[in-house]
């Protein structure tokens, strides 16, 4: 069991207790356990093995016993006890934006709602009209939230799916006779959500591999089981499952299978048309002459694309968005290795979990040249936003800590809220920062003009260097606010302001097609993790995948540049404004 899985189990326990109406002290105890486990930098199982659970912050003897029980049995008896009274399906309601345990409890007790489907019925039949705490506006927003959850149902966020695929692939590599395992499908293409996982492998004995595959930890159901193909429903952690398809293919046609099962379907359709025009057939076994004759290419993807007079197309581009018109491989398409720094992250000064020094250490371990510390501004009170005097102290703290890390440049920055008519700090204060991230956190309305006006106001400010998570979407949770990306990226290009690809797997904002539009408009993109804990710095990979899906090259991305070039980017904008 991973740390995240254990954390989730305690979070759900707290949710159930809160719905049940237990006192907040008890609920908070389990929330704290969940947070501690989620933040743990070492493996929980190691801590438990050393008998050191009770030494963790916020974990007493009773909680330590619960954690041990969870690790030993995979579940919590207390949860079973509670769910005899509180239906576990009530947890579905919490996926809806704006519905917390308190409201879920009210819906359950007052209206007998126990599931998302029932809630939907209840709303449609007007059953919530006279329930206290549920005004017309809030009912409307719940209705929208439900349809959003439904439309995203069954699709997992890339970040989570990536971790699961990694572990399944590892397990497969441990099976004797397996010589190669590779991901295919939407995961390999770096899509923001993934329907199911597709894995390919080369092995001597297909049946034995599929057998072992259907018995790996967490298998809930076996959907298909044959000599070269297996399909399972995997539940790697409570309440979250995903289908995994495995195909065992021969080494001599691995390239053809990998190409076929990577997709996308639209890309493959276009590629097949191209083959047919030449009198050939393309399928998962290879590219061959249509009259059942000679195999033209099958061992590698490169050979197949080459035979079709195409450069090898990186998987992230295989969406039928113009990649079949390429005459040569895209040069300098962004890679993770090109990234030299991360310019948006939080520390314990606001709502982050780690100190400035801890973030710096992790950045150095990642091989970065620079980072910007960008804690929240005062209006983000729940996130511990800094009042102006605290910001000044924080700037001094960053500069002091910076002296301990001569190999890394630490920029003193802030994530300043874009309010309805101004920024959350005055210009005099912003002028003292090395780097300014601006973002909208409140009042994201449905009016595209109002939203765009706010974003443009920030872009026009001489001290704002990047517009962060521009559309404010939360994948599978909250839709993007309407925003005129075309206008915003033109303004960004003109003023020398970067647009962010927020690399958090929950955001990936700007998304691929928006990033591509911004680049076409001449805007510079900046890929930031917005990390609130050290390990979140590793989410950079998902931002890079999104950037590649947006066809971004090295020169389009600010944080591939040197620190001097980043400083010049900041200075140029300020100078231009001064000259106006
Ligand atoms: P997903 O799972 O919904 O996130 O998306 P994919 O792209 O992973 O789709 P999936 O798992 O249904 O199939 C994996 C790949 O296999 C897909 O991208 C292309 C290929 N494929 C599967 N079924 C078909 C088909 O009926 N026709 C064609 N041309 N390709 C297919
Ligand atoms: Ca798939
Ligand atoms: Ca599949
Ligand atoms: Zn942030």
Residue minimizing CA distance to atom 29 of ligand 1: 265
* Ligand 1 nearest atom to the CA of residue 268, by list position: 29
pLDDT level of residue 328 (50, 70, 90 thresholds): very high
What is the whole-number distance in angstroms between the Cα of residue 543 and the centre of ligand 4?
15
Q: Please state the rounded mean pLDDT for residues 238-246.
A: 86
* Ligand 1 nearest atom to the CA of residue 261, by list position: 16
117-130 confidence digits (pLDDT tens) = 899 999 988 888 88
pTM value is 0.80
């001064």: which residue's tokens? Answer: 578
Position 326 scores a pLDDT of 94
What is the whole-number distance in angstroms between the Cα of residue 280 and the centre of ligand 1?
21
Q: Find out whether 158 and 505 touch, Cβ atoms under 8 Å.
A: yes
Q: Spell out the CATH class of 156-248.
A: alpha beta
Residue minimizing CA distance to atom 23 of ligand 1: 265
E-assigned strand segments in 80-141? none
What is the whole-number distance in angstroms between the Cα of residue 354 and the centre of ligand 4?
14
Position 113 scores a pLDDT of 94
What is the whole-number distance in angstroms between the Cα of residue 538 and the centre of ligand 3?
27
What is the whole-number distance in angstroms between the Cα of residue 519 and the centre of ligand 2?
29
What is the whole-number distance in angstroms between the Cα of residue 527 and the centre of ligand 2?
26
Q: Find out whether 529 and 506 touch, Cβ atoms under 8 Å.
A: no
Question: For 431-539, where are the alpha helices, taking DSSP H only?
Answer: 448-460, 485-495, 512-520
Q: Centre a 10 Å sphere on the Cβ of residue 30 and count the other Cβ atoms it contains.
A: 24
| pLDDT higher than 80, residue 154 | no
Q: Please state the rounded mean pLDDT for residues 499-506.
A: 98
Q: Find out whether 442 and 421 touch, Cβ atoms under 8 Å.
A: no
Q: What angle do CA 128, 11, 14 make, to 5 degrees?
A: 65
* Ligand 1 nearest atom to the CA of residue 187, by list position: 8
Instruction: Determine the length of the chain.
Output: 580
Structure tokens at 540: 């950079």
What is the whole-number distance in angstroms between the Cα of residue 346 and the centre of ligand 4?
6
27-74 confidence digits (pLDDT tens) = 999 998 998 887 777 778 889 999 999 999 889 999 999 999 999 999
Position 150 scores a pLDDT of 74
What is the whole-number distance in angstroms between the Cα of residue 467 and the centre of ligand 4?
11
Compute the distance between CA of residue 28 and CA of residue 18 in angstroms, rounded to an integer.
9
Q: Find out whether 493 and 521 touch, Cβ atoms under 8 Å.
A: yes
Q: Centre a 10 Å sphere on the Cβ of residue 442 and count the other Cβ atoms it contains.
A: 11
Position 372 scores a pLDDT of 98
180-217 confidence digits (pLDDT tens) = 999 999 999 999 999 999 999 999 999 999 999 999 99
Ligand 1 binding pocket mutation candidate from 157, 158, 183, 186 (most atoms within 8 A of CB): 186
Residue minimizing CA distance to atom 27 of ligand 1: 265
Ligand 1 binding pocket mutation candidate from 154, 161, 194, 198 (most atoms within 8 A of CB): 198
Residue minimizing CA distance to atom 24 of ligand 1: 265
Q: Is 580 helix (H, G, I), strand (E, B) or coil?
A: coil
What is the whole-number distance in angstroms between the Cα of residue 266 and the centre of ligand 1?
9
The whole-chain average pLDDT of the chain stands at 94
Position 382 scores a pLDDT of 84
Position 43 scores a pLDDT of 77
What is the whole-number distance in angstroms between the Cα of residue 69 and the centre of ligand 1?
41
What is the whole-number distance in angstroms between the Cα of residue 146 and the centre of ligand 2?
24
What is the whole-number distance in angstroms between the Cα of residue 257 and the centre of ligand 1?
12
Position 241 scores a pLDDT of 84
Q: What angle do CA 218, 222, 227 make, to 5 degrees?
A: 120
Ligand 1 binding pocket mutation candidate from 185, 243, 270 (most atoms within 8 A of CB): 185
Position 225 scores a pLDDT of 93
Beta bridge partners of 455: none
pLDDT cut 90: percent of the chain above it: 81
211-240 confidence digits (pLDDT tens) = 999 999 999 889 899 999 999 989 887 768
Helix (H) or strand (E) run with residue 410 in it? strand 409-417
* Ligand 1 nearest atom to the CA of residue 264, by list position: 18
* Ligand 1 nearest atom to the CA of residue 191, by list position: 4
pLDDT level of residue 136 (50, 70, 90 thresholds): confident
Compute the distance between CA of residue 501 and CA of residue 530 in angstroms, rounded to an integer.
10
In the chain, what is the straight-line distance between the N-terminal and C-terminal CA atoms, in Å? Answer: 59
* Ligand 1 nearest atom to the CA of residue 194, by list position: 4
Structure tokens at 55: 């030494």
* Ligand 1 nearest atom to the CA of residue 196, by list position: 2
| pLDDT higher than 70, residue 152 | no
Ligand 1 binding pocket mutation candidate from 232, 261, 271, 301 (most atoms within 8 A of CB): 261
Ligand nearest to the CA of 246: 3
Position 409 scores a pLDDT of 98
* Topology given in CATH for the domain delimited by 336-576: TIM Barrel (3.20.20)
- Of the candidate CATH numbers 2.60.120.10, 2.60.40.2230, 1.10.150.110, 2.60.40.10, the domain formed by 3-152 belongs to 1.10.150.110
Residue minimizing CA distance to atom 28 of ligand 1: 265
| pLDDT higher than 70, residue 337 | yes
Domain spanning 252-325 has what CATH number? 3.30.210.10
Q: Please state the rounded mean pLDDT for residues 497-516.
A: 97
Q: Find out whether 99 and 142 touch, Cβ atoms under 8 Å.
A: yes
List residues near ligand 1 (CB under 6 A). Answer: 185-186, 191, 194-196, 198, 260-261, 263-265, 268-269
Ligand 1 binding pocket mutation candidate from 191, 197, 247, 268 (most atoms within 8 A of CB): 268
| pLDDT higher than 80, residue 553 | yes
Structure tokens at 220: 């809930």
What is the whole-number distance in angstroms between the Cα of residue 287 and the centre of ligand 1?
18
Ligand nearest to the CA of 224: 3
pLDDT level of residue 527 (50, 70, 90 thresholds): very high
pLDDT level of residue 151 (50, 70, 90 thresholds): low
| pLDDT higher than 80, residue 579 | no
What is the whole-number distance in angstroms between the Cα of residue 561 and the centre of ligand 4?
21
Ligand 1 binding pocket mutation candidate from 161, 263, 276, 313 (most atoms within 8 A of CB): 263
* Ligand 1 nearest atom to the CA of residue 269, by list position: 29
Residue 489 — left, alpha, or beta (φ > 0 → left; ψ -120 to 50 → alpha)? Answer: alpha
Position 153 scores a pLDDT of 67
Position 411 scores a pLDDT of 98
pLDDT level of residue 520 (50, 70, 90 thresholds): very high
Position 291 scores a pLDDT of 86
Residue minimizing CA distance to atom 22 of ligand 1: 261
389-445 confidence digits (pLDDT tens) = 999 999 999 999 999 999 999 999 999 999 999 999 999 999 999 999 999 998 888
Domain boundaries along the sequence of the chain: 3-152, 156-248, 252-325, 336-576
Residue minimizing CA distance to atom 17 of ligand 1: 263
More confident: 145 or 173: 173
Structure tokens at 321: 């968005």
| pLDDT higher than 60, residue 580 | no
């Amino acid at each position: 069991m991973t740390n995240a899985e254990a954390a989730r189990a305690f979070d759900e326990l707290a949710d159930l207790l809160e719905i049940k109406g237990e006192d907040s002290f008890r609920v908070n105890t389990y929330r704290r356990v969940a947070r501690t486990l989620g933040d743990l930098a070492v493996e929980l199982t190691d801590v438990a093995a050393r008998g050191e659970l009770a030494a963790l912050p916020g974990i007493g003897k009773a909680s330590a016993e619960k954690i041990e029980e969870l690790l030993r049995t995979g579940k919590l008896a207390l949860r079973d006890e509670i769910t005899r009274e509180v239906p576990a399906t009530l947890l579905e309601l919490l996926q809806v934006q704006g519905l917390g345990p308190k409201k879920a409890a009210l819906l359950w007790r007052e209206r007998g709602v126990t599931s998302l489907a029932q809630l939907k019925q209840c709303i449609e039949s007007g059953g919530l009209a006279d329930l206290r705490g549920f005004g017309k506006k809030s009912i409307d927003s719940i209705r929208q939230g439900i349809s959003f959850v439904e439309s995203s149902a069954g699709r997992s966020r890339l970040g989570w799916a990536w971790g699961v695929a990694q572990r399944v692939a590892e397990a497969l590599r441990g099976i004797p006779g397996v010589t190669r395992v590779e991901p295919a499908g939407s995961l390999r293409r770096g899509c923001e959500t993934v329907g199911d996982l597709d894995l390919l492998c080369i092995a001597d004995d297909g049946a034995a591999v599929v057998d072992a595959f259907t018995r790996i930890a967490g298998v809930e159901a076996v959907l298909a089981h044959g000599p070269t193909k297996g399909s399972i429903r995997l539940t790697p952690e409570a309440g979250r499952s995903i289908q995994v398809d495995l195909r065992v293919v021969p080494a001599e046609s691995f390239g053809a299978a990998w190409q076929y099962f990577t997709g996308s379907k639209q890309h493959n359709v276009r590629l097949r048309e191209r083959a047919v025009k030449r009198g050939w057939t393309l399928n998962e076994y290879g590219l061959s002459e249509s009259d059942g004759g000679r195999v033209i290419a099958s061992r590698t993807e490169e050979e197949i694309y080459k035979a079709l007079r195409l450069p090898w197309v990186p998987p992230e581009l295989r969406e039928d968005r113009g990649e079949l018109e390429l005459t040569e491989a895209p040069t300098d398409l962004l890679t993770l290795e090109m990234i030299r720094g991360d310019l948006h992250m939080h520390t314990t000064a606001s709502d982050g979990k780690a100190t400035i020094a801890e973030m710096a250490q992790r950045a150095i371990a990642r091989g970065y040249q620079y980072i910007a510390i960008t804690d929240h501004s005062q209006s983000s009170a729940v996130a511990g936003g800094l009042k102006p005097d605290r910001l000044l102290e924080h700037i001094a703290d960053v500069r002091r800590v910076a002296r301990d890390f001569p190999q890394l440049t630490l920029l003193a920055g802030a994530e300043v809220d874009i309010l309805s008519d101004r920024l959350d700090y005055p210009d005099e204060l912003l002028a003292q920062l090395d780097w300014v991230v601006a973002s909208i956190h409140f009042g994201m309305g449905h009016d595209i003009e109002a939203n765009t006006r706010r974003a443009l106001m920030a872009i026009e400010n001489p001290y704002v260097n990047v517009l962060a998570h521009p559309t404010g979407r939360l994948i599978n949770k909250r839709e993007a606010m309407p925003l005129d990306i075309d206008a915003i990226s033109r303004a960004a290009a003109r003023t020398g302001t970067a647009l962010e690809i927020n690399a958090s797997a929950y955001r990936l904002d700007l998304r691929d097609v928006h990033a591509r539009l911004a680049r076409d408009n001449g805007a510079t993109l900046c890929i930031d993790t917005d990390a609130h804990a050290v390990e979140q710095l590793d989410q950079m990979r998902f931002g890079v995948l999104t950037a590649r899906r947006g066809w971004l090259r090295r020169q389009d991305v600010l944080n591939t540049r040197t620190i001097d070039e980043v400083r010049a980017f900041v200075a140029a904008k300020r100078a231009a404004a001064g000259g106006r």
